Each structure stands twice: as C-alpha cells, then as structure tokens.
Structure 1
C-alpha cells in the first residue's frame, strides 16, 4: 500500500451525504405502476464538504379519495434501493387506514390519520417530518404500494382521502458507485468487508458492529450512528444532525447488514426515528440523541467509551455504513491478513487522532474502537488519508451526565445464541403454528433473563397470541391478543425467567392468529442465553 505523507491532509472532507433535489415527477391515476423519470444529478464538488447523494426526490400527483375507482397506487423505480413516500394530506374516516408496503407485504407501515395533527392512533407506524405533511417510513426495494383500507363506515365531508405529492428513492448500485467519494478516504486498496465476514475470525469485533446503525436523512442522504451505553442514547456527528429539526427528518436503520459474506443480501432493517435532541457540538463534531421505539433495537447491544488518550500504533477498528452500504468492518488497512488498522497519529491536531483505516462517504459518525478494550476511542468524521476522528476523551466530559458508560453489563451476552430464520406462515384465524430452535452445548438450566428475539411480519399485530414453549412443554406467554392494536409487525425482545428449564433441547415459538382479515408470518426468532 502506498501511503500519502502523514502531513499531507489538505483534502479533508466531511463525510456526510447531503441531499440534492433533482427534478422529476410522476402522475398516478390508476392502480398500475408509476415509473419515475431518468435521474438528474448535480456536479460533485471536492473540497471542505464533499457532496455525495444516496438518493433523490421526485414530484408526484397521487390521489386516493373516497370516490376513486382504485384504492391502490404503486410507485416504482426499477433497481432503486428504497422508496420513501410523502403525504401532503391524509384525512380518513374513523376506522380507516392507509398502508405503505412492499409488493410482498413483508414490510408494511400503517397510518390511521395525519400524525402531525394528532389524528393518528398510538399504534400507528413511525414517520419523519420535513416541511409540511409527513413522510412514511421508507420501503426497502424499488416499489412501494400505497393502499386505502376501508372499514365500511360512511366518510364525512371532511374525509378526503390522501394526497402523495412526492417521494424519494435510493440510488441503484451503479448510480451509487458514481457518487462514491471514497477516493479521498480509502487509503490504498479498500479493505472494508461485510461485518458478517468476521463473525468467526473476529467474533468480538462482529458483535460490537451490531450496535451500529445507518441514518437516512431527508430521505436522500446518510451517515452512521451507534448506541452508547445501556440507555436510549445514540451518537453521530454534528455535521450529520445539527438540530432537532434535522433530527425529525431522519430514519435510523439497525441490523442493516448482509446475511452472508460478500452476498449482497442485506437483512430487513429495523427502522426507528429520532426522538430527543440531547446535546451537540460543532467544534467537536458530535450529536447525542435518542430514538422512538427504543425497545425494538435494545437487542442489538451497545458500545462503551474508552476515556483516555490514544496511543501511537495501538490497534483499532471501525464499523459503519460507508456509501450507505450494509454494515462493514475495517479491521485491516489494505489486505485481509495484512497490516491491521492502528493509530498513526494520536494527536493529528488539537481534537483529532489520525489513521489509515479505510472509510468513505457515509462513514461519518462511525465509532473507532480500541482493540485492547473494544470500546470507542474516537468518533470518525473526516476523510483524506489520514482519516480522522474526534478523540472521545474530549467528548466525554460534555456528555458524561447524559449517558451510561458502564453502569450496566457490557453486551452482547456471553451465552450462546440460537436462531431460526426460516419463514413460517401464520394462518388467518387458524390453528397455532410453531417454529423450532434446538439448543445444544449449554450447561445446566436456562437463565432467569432468557432473551427471546422475535421478528414477525403481520398486518394487524393485535390479532396475535405468542408463547415460548420450553423443551418440557411448559408455555411462557409473551404476548396476548389486543383488538385495538392495529399496528403492523412484532419486532421486539422479550425477557423470560426460564431458570427452572433445562437449557438444552428443542424450544418452540408458538403463534396463533385469533381474528380474521389480516395475515403474516414468522420471519425469524432467536434465543440468547
């Protein structure tokens, strides 16, 4: 690897991905697919702030009213990474709802009213806000289906249906490659690899990577964020999120990672939104914030801070979402099995430390971890070879009263994890079904804090009754049915006192749909001992 001189850091860039609005429109008048026009991309300027798009906005004119022939519209742009729909207005009769879903119905977001006008139900899906109206959570893939579901009641004169006036869509792989600013941040050969590639060779590094998330901001730009401490706290850069208004426009994607090494097969992300804007600093380039629906991301663990000065040549690694990609780890500087990433300059200036560990556009906000402690020693924010991160020893005094930096147990748990990722369909108002997980190699009984991670896709989760069944047949109720809970999906972690049960054997997740009209399936579930 040919390295630039360590004193030559003139080509610095903030690795935020700024949104660029491109002209384009769609017109939807029936239930057929609506294709977006060809892309229009602005020039990219090198220098202090490198602009790199991950998507773009398109105008639309999609209206579904109570007198319309079709209650379904499709927005599609082949090859797009995601579609994010904006509602200019939403006025529905009592009991009605709108869903934004992928064609297979495995990702569904439900809205019973305009959440910005306090008309939505507590069980409605999360949303983001930028300007008037509201944005539904994004749909992964190149097609989003917008559907008005009628409960049968008569609408009032004020119930007009919905208007979608625009959407954003994520670039195709080819388009994203054209926008990649990595030339200024990949030092030599790009040695970043899918996090799962290190699951066997570097299990601790892999485990820590699960605490890291992708930020999708304004529907078309992105950075990286990560959980700090056991409470609802996340870090990113100030140049990624500088205000509460900016935070309201962002989604945070956890578990957005490839299932197999090099497989280009990311798992469905667990998507949450920003809640509280807690603290920020432009000079140290950090922002601390919290998220909505924190329970859905607790199982991914968290990171702690290594509050000390970095040491010359100590080994480090970085995990993040450069170029908007599924989570990647930088363990080596150039080639696998070669020189490992290390601290090349402990004090490259008054706030930063420098390293040649590879990053790229979108890596902003990534944690830089010391291999000796597997704790965060810097917050990555600058590229240029040297790449640089703000030293955590400077950030910690400003946030120490807002975070837990060791008051709880540092996850992930040390016990084994056993998972079943095979889909099992749940019959509508039918008999209970089960999915098995076989546990081996565990000594004695299960713990009193057995974690049951559940991922069930369903269009009305209140229909579901869920039990964990131990090897001896004992059932532990995880969830009862609730007719008023109209939200989609059950993606959460339950804690079960299973200390009277022998750990080894076949455990079952038992699910029954007890009401008609909505369907779903078990996507995946696991036991963490």
Structure 2
C-alpha cells in the first residue's frame, strides 16, 4: 500500500507539473506529460514464506531452492542468518553463473568480505537478486558440524521470511505502457550499434539498471570520475529507497536481437548525497558500495549548456525492464535521428526519442559531444528531460566532471579497434579476509 500511495503521489505531482506554466509546456493536450515510470508500478511482486535452512547431521553442505516458473529474477530476504566461524551461505542460480556469498547478517556487522546486500525496513537483509526463475540457497560448513539439533535450537542457520519474483515476459508485456513510444518503436539492443555507432555504444556502457525494493525498475548511470551516479528523484526519494536498491551494469544482449542476456555486474547501495523533488528538477545523486566493480563500464560527463532545437540526441536505458536498448532513431532504422524538438520549456527539454516504463533516469546525450544534456523523467510524446545544466548548477561541487585528456581517450579507442578484450561483465563475490 505504501508503494501504491507513492505512485498516486507521483502521478498527482506530475499532473501538477503539466498544469503549471513555469514548469511544463502548454501547447496542447498532446504535450501534457505524465510520469514515465515509477517504481511503485511494479515489475515484480513479493511472496511471503517461512523457509528454514539448518545444519545437517551429516555432510558439509545443505541446500534449498526457490523456484518461480518463468520469473525474470528471484530476490531472497533473510529474517535471520547465524553461522559458525568460517561458514557461509550462498545464493545462486542452479548453474552457479551468479553467486552471492554471506558470512553472517551484514546488518549486524557479521559479513566481512561478503557480497553486497539491501535492506527493506524489517529485521534482516536481502541478498542481491538472481537472474532467472530459480534461486538456490546453500549453507556451506568449513568443517563437519556435529550436534545439528543443538545448533538449530540455538538459532544457527538461515531463515527466509520472504522473497520477490520478477514478472514473466508475458506478464510484463501486459503491463507495459506505450505512452512514450512516439510512432514506431525504433529502439534496438545496444549491441546492434557496436559497429555502426561505436561511440554511442561505448557511452551506453556507463548506464545501468536499478531494482528498488525487489519490485520496481529505473535507469541509473555513472557520472564523472568519482563514485557518483544519477537517477530520478521519483525513482529514489530517500535514504531508505537507496538502502532497498541494487544496481546492475552490463545487463544487455550479446547479439543484436538475441535472447542471450549477459548477467552483468551487481552492486549494492552506498551514500545518499543530494536530491531534488519531482516537481522541481527530479534527480537524485548517490553512490554505490563497490565502485571498483563497475569502473570497467566507463562513465558519462555533463554538458553544462542549454539544448539547441534540432540537435541530434540519443538515449540508452532499461525501458520495460528489458536488457539495455539504445534509442537512436525516431521511427525507422537509418531514417530520422532523434533530436531536440523543444529546446526549453520550464526546467525541461522535449524530444520524440522512444522511451517506456523503466527509462526514468536515463541520460539524454548530445551527439555533438557525447555528453549528457538532459535527464529523462517524463513521457507523453514529446517526452521530457530536465535540462542537465540546471542539475549541474546544484551538484557541480559534488562531482568531478572533467573528462580525461583527449590523448588518453584516443589511445583507448585505438586499443579497442586493435581487438583489445572487452571488459569482464561479471565480478566474483569477494572472499573473506
């Protein structure tokens, strides 16, 4: 209910934006903007449960699994996790391509060297999500542990009180909104442009996906040279929202139009730094817990100038909770490219580049510089982004917006052309010290 109330609040706020001349355009009913996406509009749902994983009388590993047929992800919440020294619990997919490791309850300072986690306003913590419809939870003992019954009485082991499952592809399709697909949806997997538009492809790597409270999805991106990221305020309103969020970079298809989605690299929350409300600039600046893990994906810089009508733009993002796509053309591949249609209207700039639910927080990049010129946050065709120069004026002292020397950039591009290996898309769990 709290999330539904937040959605209604955001909806009313956006309608206020649409009615207020200082903030939103008033040309016609067709230009009235609505919220493009809010995490309260779910991409998954919570399931209550009472699952115990205890030490056994024999062996050194004991497992249970949560299976939700066709689910896009499974995220597990531990009400309690108490382990003997040297033991651990892992949450993984059945093939162990993705493994998150915990040595105790991190909210109690008992997970040194373990994977990142999220917190959800109740006792315990949640593991980072697992892609796919099955999560395997395994207790690993360093040594054989006699006295299993006694350990259980003392509360050792794990207790899972709830989990979240991502909607199936069919469920998500039923819920998808097309308010911001302007004409024909011209978005394509980012890899489709790897050869034809190598710079746009490279810049899109700094764009990731947020999963809030196991339920909602938005787009985030790295900004500047330090541990800083941006998204919309309506995607992350508070410190509590950040604590309940995880982020994945590199979640994109390996082949154009394929179904071979890469797992990517998942990280947990860091510091809530600065925000501006939905009816103002609608941004949140924050950090993540392990910036080194996502440094391989590069970063974006802000273009601290006003947009110009007619200039070419492009938008990478995670609309409809799909693998990352790039909006480069308005309707037809090789046809009219995305451009600024309304240079300035209140705090916004307008365009007909295709977006959809989940694109909130996407960067709008100027093709002339490949820097961010707006922060996408509203839809309705035209779609709208907060002019980034306004955001920059508020956060300039909090970020390092200085690009590296051109020579360094040129050398790195040359290395890629010569066949330098692509960055690893997944980092292993950290081992204990």
TM-score (norm 1): 0.71
Matching residue within 3, 10, 13 for 2:34: 13
Secondary structure of 1:415's counterpart equals: helix
1:238 maps onto 2:233 in alignment: yes
Matching residue within 304, 312, 315 for 2:312: 315
Matching residue within 63, 72, 75 for 1:72: 63
CA distance change for structure 1 residues 55 and 92 in 2, over 3 Å: closer, same or farther? same
CA distance change for structure 1 residues 208 and 231 in 2, over 3 Å: closer, same or farther? same
Deviations 1:185-213 (A, max 9, x none): 00001001000101111111111000000
CA distance change for structure 1 residues 136 and 196 in 2, over 3 Å: closer, same or farther? same
After TM superposition, what 4+ stretches of structure 1 lie above 6 angstroms from structure 2?
A: 455-459
Deviations 1:4-62 (A, max 9, x none): x963346522223434xxxxxxxxxxxxxxxxxxxxxxxxxxxxxxx3x2111111111
Equivalent residue for 1:354? 350
Equivalent residue for 2:81? 90
**Separation (CA, whole Å) in 1 of partners of 2:228 and 2:177:** 29
Equivalent residue for 2:120? 130
For structure 1, the 5+ residue unaligned runs are 20-50, 419-438, 443-450, 463-483, 486-529
> More helix per residue: 1 or 2?
2
CA contact (8 A) 1:6 1:386 kept: no
Equivalent residue for 2:50? 61
Secondary structure of 2:214's counterpart equals: coil
Q: How does 1:185-196 map to 2 (within 5 A)?
A: 185-196=180-191
Larger Rg: 1
Matching residue within 231, 247, 252 for 1:257: 252
**Separation (CA, whole Å) in 1 of partners of 2:27 and 2:203:** 29
**Greater CA drift, 5-14 or 395-404:** 5-14
CA distance change for structure 1 residues 285 and 455 in 2, over 3 Å: closer, same or farther? closer
Deviations 1:416-471 (A, max 9, x none): 238xxxxxxxxxxxxxxxxxxxx66x9xxxxxxxx994567768x76xxxxxxxxx
CA distance change for structure 1 residues 317 and 118 in 2, over 3 Å: closer, same or farther? same
Q: What is the RMSD of the two structures over their aligned residues, measured on CA atoms?
A: 2.3
CA distance change for structure 1 residues 76 and 258 in 2, over 3 Å: closer, same or farther? same
**Separation (CA, whole Å) in 2 of partners of 1:317 and 1:107:** 31
Secondary structure of 1:398's counterpart equals: helix
Secondary structure of 2:183's counterpart equals: coil
Secondary structure of 1:204's counterpart equals: helix
CA contact (8 A) 2:312 2:367 kept: yes
By how many angstroms is 1:78 displaced? 1.6
Secondary structure of 1:344's counterpart equals: strand
Equivalent residue for 1:475? none
Equivalent residue for 1:197? 192
CA contact (8 A) 1:211 1:301 kept: yes
Deviations 1:208-229 (A, max 9, x none): 0000001011111010000111
CA distance change for structure 1 residues 91 and 374 in 2, over 3 Å: closer, same or farther? same
Deviations 1:463-512 (A, max 9, x none): xxxxxxxxxxxxxxxxxxxxx54xxxxxxxxxxxxxxxxxxxxxxxxxxx
**Separation (CA, whole Å) in 1 of partners of 2:362 and 2:103:** 36
Equivalent residue for 2:20? none
For structure 2, the 5+ residue unaligned runs are 1-25
> More strand per residue: 1 or 2?
1
CA contact (8 A) 1:107 1:457 kept: no
**Separation (CA, whole Å) in 2 of partners of 1:455 and 1:315:** 30
Deviations 1:241-266 (A, max 9, x none): 01111000111110111101000211
Secondary structure of 1:414's counterpart equals: helix
By how many angstroms is 1:350 displaced? 1.0
Higher relative CO (CA 8 A, sep ≥ 6), structure 1 or 2? 2
